[in-house]
Amino acid sequence: MLVVVGAMVAVAAGVAVAVAQGSGHTGTVSAVTANTSPGLPAAMAPGRTTTTPPKTKKPPTVDPATQRQVRRMIAANAIFVKGGTRGRLVALTFDDGPSIYTPRLVRELRQLKAPATFFEIGSQIHRYAKLVANMSKLGFPIEDHTWNHPDLTRLSSTQVQGQLLWTKNAIFKATHAYPQFFRPPYGAQSARVRHTAGGLGMVTTVWSIDTRDWSRPGTASVIHAAEQVRAGGIVLMHDGGGNRSETVAAVPIVVRYLRTHGYTLVTIPQLLTKAPPKSSTMWLSAKGGG
């Protein structure tokens, strides 16, 4: 049975407040009215029904093996929760950036020669465009985490498409590479959301381990959670959305622990290509920290 991780949304006087349950962070989503939404292009305002997302350009050449697996996942309308056990691979992922903490994380990862994947917020990319471009050149995949972090299951298909496509284009503008993976805020997704993402060439990707670093539980707690990962696992952490100093402090210890215990760190595209998931796990979803 497909488990969908949602967010409770209370609406009063035109203001929507989304509260994550178990698989994300608790916070307030931008206030919305019938025709506007702060931080969004006007055409994407949640109250509108005539959103026309911008057209994308022809994507650059991508790794054929990765593309084959991406197409397989999209054709099955599947969710990427974890990879297979081949090679004892683990993928570290970071959400909600770019932010002031992203350069510090990248510096730590580079010193450790540790790959990682960043699912970034579209509306924040322009401010950090040079950083994002450099991250991509250094081999850190920049993937889609929507324009301003809404619960996509509460939006129309047109609005979902706008959230993903505006972010996809922002990533391309900064990196000259299109994202192939998309992570729904709070893990909140559905067959409709996955289908929309697939139509834009992206695999809906969640996680098998939630470190809950968004709640600032302490560096030791973040480390302990990450150490529970197993072969093929996807670890969720954050480089934005709040104070991420605990995450920055935890990462070097997590990387060294995983390597000491025989795991090889890879990016999300590498995990899908080198250790594709079994069919039996392609429709599972993250809940309660994996």
Whether the CA torsion 266, 105, 141, 137 is positive or negative: it is negative
Asked if residue 22 is part of any domain, the answer here is no
Asked if residue 106 is part of any domain, the answer here is yes
Provide mean pLDDT across the span 128-157.
98
The structural domain count of the chain equals 1
Mean pLDDT of the chain: 83
Contact 149, 121 (CB under 8 A): yes
- pLDDT digit string, tens, across residues 106-125: 999 999 999 999 999 999 99
Residue 225 sits in a domain of what CATH number?
Answer: 3.20.20.370
Asked if residue 132 is part of any domain, the answer here is yes
Asked if residue 27 is part of any domain, the answer here is no
- pLDDT digit string, tens, across residues 41-67: 655 544 443 344 445 444 455 789 999
Asked if residue 242 is part of any domain, the answer here is yes
Asked if residue 33 is part of any domain, the answer here is no
Asked if residue 16 is part of any domain, the answer here is no
Catalytically annotated residue among 149, 213, 238, 239: 238
Catalytically annotated residue among 95, 151, 210, 213: 95
Is 238 designated active site? yes
Is 95 designated active site? yes
60 CB burial (10 A radius; 0-12, 13-18, 19+): exposed
- pLDDT digit string, tens, across residues 153-200: 999 999 999 999 999 999 999 999 999 999 999 999 999 999 999 999
pLDDT at 283: 60
Full residue range of the structural domain in which residue 100 is found: 64-281
Answer with the residue of higher pLDDT: 20 or 180. Answer: 180
Asked if residue 152 is part of any domain, the answer here is yes
pLDDT at 32: 28
Q: Beta-carbon neighbour count of residue 150 at 10 Å?
A: 26
